[in-house]
Chain A
Amino acid sequence: DTAVSQTPKYLVTQMGNDKSIKCEQNLGHDTMYWYKQDSKKFLKIMFSYNNKELIINETVPNRFSPKSPDKAHLNLHINSLELGDSAVYFCASSQGLGGTQYFGPGTRLLVL
């Protein structure tokens, strides 16, 4: 009964490749988020979607493109991966923009 799930858990890839991370929530929430956590554990929001509409886009490079096919899913596609993209990416969801955010287990991305 995982509330917020992400796939894959680990992703190791070469520079220049394109990859996708998927997120699904079964909480019935209408708002989903992507966060990036760097090697110093600093956690920063990248995007948020409310009812499939983009609400927050935190000056993330154009190489990152979120897609929300429905309210329960928010995927993250990354083009032309760079070394600096190596991090842990967390998906989260909430009911409404002001609701408590619940996080997924994270996807550990390593770009070589």
Chain B
Amino acid sequence: GENVGLHLPTLSVQEGDNSIINCAYSNSASDYFIWYKQESGKGPQFIIDIRSNMDKRQGQRVTVLLNKTVKHLSLQIAATQPGDSAVYFCAESGGATNKLIFGTGTLLAVQP
């Protein structure tokens, strides 16, 4: 697929394990953070978001943690499944135009 040969940071996990994908963001003024999932050949798909007045938010099988002190964001996926295999991007935004700035992406490879 499109991800073959890419030199993205890669996280390889066994099916059923929990996954943690980390992201460092750059702008301390950012107040909105989003995680996107991009499967091979498709567009980024919204997973979960969090605003800067929170430090944790949970969705279905996913949890986002925000540590503003060290400008760190993480995505936890519980009971990882083969369908979770994709590139995961964190994104930050803030300011008048709310421009989204994307991180470099992490390739999650789930081994059956």
Chain A residues within 8 Å of B, Cβ to Cβ: 4, 40-45, 48, 55-56, 58, 90, 92, 97-98, 100-106
Contacts and interface: CB of A to CB of B under 8 A. Distances in A.
27 contacts: A4-B43, A40-B8, A40-B104, A41-B8, A41-B38, A42-B102, A42-B105, A43-B105, A44-B102, A45-B99, A48-B97, A90-B43, A90-B44, A92-B43, A98-B32, A98-B93, A98-B98, A100-B34, A100-B46, A100-B49, A101-B46, A101-B100, A102-B46, A103-B43, A103-B45, A104-B43, A106-B43
A40 B97 CA distance: 26
Nearest to A97: B98
B102 A43 contact: yes
A90 B89 CA distance: 15
Contacts of B101: 45
Given A42-B102, A42-B104, A44-B102, A97 B97 contact: yes
A41 B41 CA distance: 11
Contacts of A42: 102, 104-105
Contacts of B43: 4, 90, 92, 103-106
Given A58-B99, A98-B32, A103-B43, 18 more contacts: A4-B43, A40-B8, A41-B3, A42-B102, A43-B89, A44-B102, A56-B97, A56-B99, A92-B43, A97-B97, A98-B93, A98-B98, A100-B46, A103-B36, A103-B44, A104-B43, A106-B42, A106-B43
